[in-house]
Structure 1
Amino acid sequence: MTPPAHDGPKIVVFGATGYTGRLTAEALAARGISPVLAGRNPAALNELAAALGGARTAVADVADPASVRALLGRGDVLVSTVGPFLRHGRPALDAALSAGAHYLDSTGEGPFIRTVFEQDDRARAAGSTLLTAFGFDYVPGNLAAGLALRAAPEAVRAEVGYFMDHPGTSGGTRASMAGMLFESGFALRSGRVVTERTGARIRSFDVAGTPRTAVSIPGSEHFAPTRSHPHLREVDVYLGLPTPAAQGFRAGSQLAAALAKVPPLKRGLEVALTRTVKGSTGGPGAASRGRTRAWVVAEARDNSGNPLATVTFSGGDPYDFTAAILAWAAQTALGGGLLAAGALGPADAFGLDVLQTAVVEAGWTRHPAG
């Protein structure tokens, strides 16, 4: 096993032998990039390196933060797929900031997204760019919202909905969902990000001519678009679910919020979930992923709630998209394509038009209005 050298900027995939990490390493290899493969299992790392035609490997474990910090030098790009991020994500984030490296992750966990954006001042001082939730969660929504707001610059509200047909989930995704069960959500209200219960709102979106129900969730869109559109007063992000499931989700979130107010009970349930829902159990195969269809709809609205602009994108499997867009972003960051340092959204980091080109190249299509 070859330790990562510090003789030039490099891309490190941390969690490379996990489901999303492996897909991302494969996507980088397809782009002609040989990343450093990092994780805690030397045998699995060597096996993946051989499958990719040879790559450097390095052992690192979140239980030993110094081993994660040793992966990086200034100007490197760290892609972290080590989840659940609320449980395991902080060592990689801190390592990137300490090294002055750039950071991307694949989280969809709202509380961790908030943690990353709270490191903005620290990232600017370090010269690091932090790009959290840089996958299906939540790049397409940031793009669609940015385009809708550009078409309607007078808008003060943005609403984004994510929808999937025939979705598969990895063990890491299920563990992340379980880990968020007792955590607070948030939303943008009166121009400020405030705590708000996940599932507090249910609404319907028009998705390719069909009304579909969705329930509110925390996302990076609550933080990112306000950089370019400081006049925004409200932002909501939604996850599409059948109406009975959305109502059940809302009721479940109310119950979880009540249980979370009793610390001993909350801790006991969290321990039970950690033991029951394992993260490293693989994910859907290629055939299953080929059946998945996804949509993202963003609406820009005025102060009275009237729609001013709508942007819709559709694509295939979320895991394939996540790997492709992470690989593109890591390569672009390594090549000097970042526009600024700090904790940024996708559009602020790369520019709206560049981001749209990358999303289309990753297999997504923008649909004409109407």
Structure 2
Amino acid sequence: MSEVLIYGAAGYTGRICAEGFVEAGLRPILGGRQDAVRGLAARLDLRSSIFDLSDPREIERRLQGVRLLLNLSGQFLTTQKLLIEACLVSGVHYVDLAGEVADTSHAFTFDERARLANIMIMPGVGFNVAPSDIAAGIAKARLPDANELVIALATEGGVSRGTLRGMLAHIEQTGHRRVGGALVPARPAESELEFQVAGKKFRAVYDPWVGDLFTAGISTGIPNISTYSVFPGLAVAMMRGRLLWLRDLIQDHLMPLLPEGSSARQLREGRTYVLAIASNGKAQVRVALTGPEAYRFTVLCLREITRAVLAGRWSPGFQTPALYGRALLEGIEGVKWDEE
């Protein structure tokens, strides 16, 4: 019997995750509320488990025999609560792809109960948190008295409809910055940052929604954290409150016409760039890396964390990917460190 259940397997990330797991010799159960899951499971010769989240007892029943639940179903503020509650009752470890402050901090509210249930809860295991959280942890270890952390991300490749839909929904809304250990309001694109990784130069804007603002606060204890990402020019304009008519047009009419996600070529050739800079006012430490395309990087992070959990390498309660440190990324093909 499989020990891993992927919930949300019908989505773009769920599909490429299932395919990647099979390539790596893993045999997960594919779960979700759509019949499309059955077709994917049949194609990959995997078991399927079709259920929605309306009945807590049914969720618990579906978790029988499962050791690890991977939640790849969006709207994490909703799906987290229902699935984590079932994992607490069933003694099942839980990870998800939550990548924003609201949903990573929501997962933290289950910390004490997860410790008592002796299970691990780890949100943010995809590209948008995992490698940067690990890089931040390394930087903190090298500069233990660091009091400021800057994280910057850049990607080359495509974007899924789900990611685009989520981003456009709040693209001009106020987010956060971590100041003195507290999350304070910050506007999207309120400042810019030029940075360089592996010889490539980038211009990023302030990204106030990134889950690192919460997770890195937990994993490093650094009180002041800022997060930057590289966005296309049109997105930056929307972040600053302009061209919102275009946002509405994409959301209301154009979304179904866009590609489901990255193309096969983008998955193969795309790259990601991660930078974490820790400083204490006198010195600074820079930790940078490049990795595979963002969605592929996400699948590979999921794969390595799954292997770690099944091998018994986990800690109870709320954890961040920094728990696994550099060793996690060393097991991922295509990751290269940009070290000074």
TM-score, structure 1 length as denominator? 0.80
> In the alignment, is the contact (CA less than 8 A) between 1:149 and 1:300 conserved in 2?
yes
Change (3 A) 1:274 1:202: same
Indicate whether 1:16 and 2:21 are aligned.
no
> How is 1:103-122 mapped onto 2 (pairs within 5 angstroms)?
103-122=94-113
> How is 1:242-321 mapped onto 2 (pairs within 5 angstroms)?
244-245=233-234, 247-252=236-241, 277=255, 282-303=260-281, 308-321=284-297
Structure-2 separation of matches of 1:97 and 1:81: 18
Output the amino acid matched with 1:130: I
Structure-2 separation of matches of 1:239 and 1:223: 16
Change (3 A) 1:65 1:280: farther
Structure 1 residue ranges (4+ consecutive) displaced by more than 4 angstroms after TM superposition: 63-66, 86-89, 244-247, 272-281
Change (3 A) 1:311 1:249: farther
Structure-1 separation of matches of 2:107 and 2:256: 24
Shift of 1:60: 1.4
Number of corresponding residues: 336
Structure-2 separation of matches of 1:183 and 1:132: 23
Aligned counterpart in structure 1 of residue 329 of structure 2, from 352, 356, 359: 356
Shift of 1:205: 1.6
Structure-1 separation of matches of 2:276 and 2:194: 12
> In the alignment, is the contact (CA less than 8 A) between 1:85 and 1:176 conserved in 2?
no
Change (3 A) 1:301 1:201: same
Output the amino acid matched with 1:108: G
> How is 1:336-355 mapped onto 2 (pairs within 5 angstroms)?
336-338=312-314, 340-348=315-323, 350=324, 352-355=325-328
> In the alignment, is the contact (CA less than 8 A) between 1:173 and 1:279 conserved in 2?
no
What percent identity do the matched residue pairs reach?
27
Indicate whether 1:212 and 2:212 are aligned.
no
Indicate whether 1:95 and 2:86 are aligned.
yes
Shift of 1:66: 4.3
Structure-1 separation of matches of 2:90 and 2:336: 37
Change (3 A) 1:280 1:322: farther
Output the amino acid matched with 2:298: T
Structure-2 separation of matches of 1:75 and 1:191: 37
Q: Give the aligned partner of residue 28 of structure 2.
A: 35
Shift of 1:324: 1.4
Shift of 1:294: 1.4
CA deviations 1:172-213 (Å, max 9, x no partner) are 112221344476522321023344344343222223345422
> 1:223 is paired with a residue of what secondary structure?
helix
Structure-1 separation of matches of 2:119 and 2:254: 37
Q: Give the aligned partner of residue 49 of structure 1.
A: 41
Shift of 1:288: 2.7
Shift of 1:63: 4.5
> In the alignment, is the contact (CA less than 8 A) between 2:104 and 2:215 conserved in 1?
no
Aligned counterpart in structure 2 of residue 139 of structure 1, from 130, 147, 167: 130
Structure-2 separation of matches of 1:171 and 1:15: 15
Output the amino acid matched with 1:229: T
Change (3 A) 1:21 1:310: same
Structure-2 separation of matches of 1:14 and 1:248: 35
Indicate whether 1:124 and 2:97 are aligned.
no
> 2:62 is paired with a residue of what secondary structure?
coil
Output the amino acid matched with 1:100: G
Indicate whether 1:60 and 2:38 are aligned.
no
**What are the ranges of 5 or more consecutive residues in structure 2 without an aligned counterpart?**
none
CA RMSD of aligned residues (A): 3.0
> 2:240 is paired with a residue of what secondary structure?
helix
Structure-1 separation of matches of 2:91 and 2:278: 36
TM-score, structure 2 length as denominator? 0.86
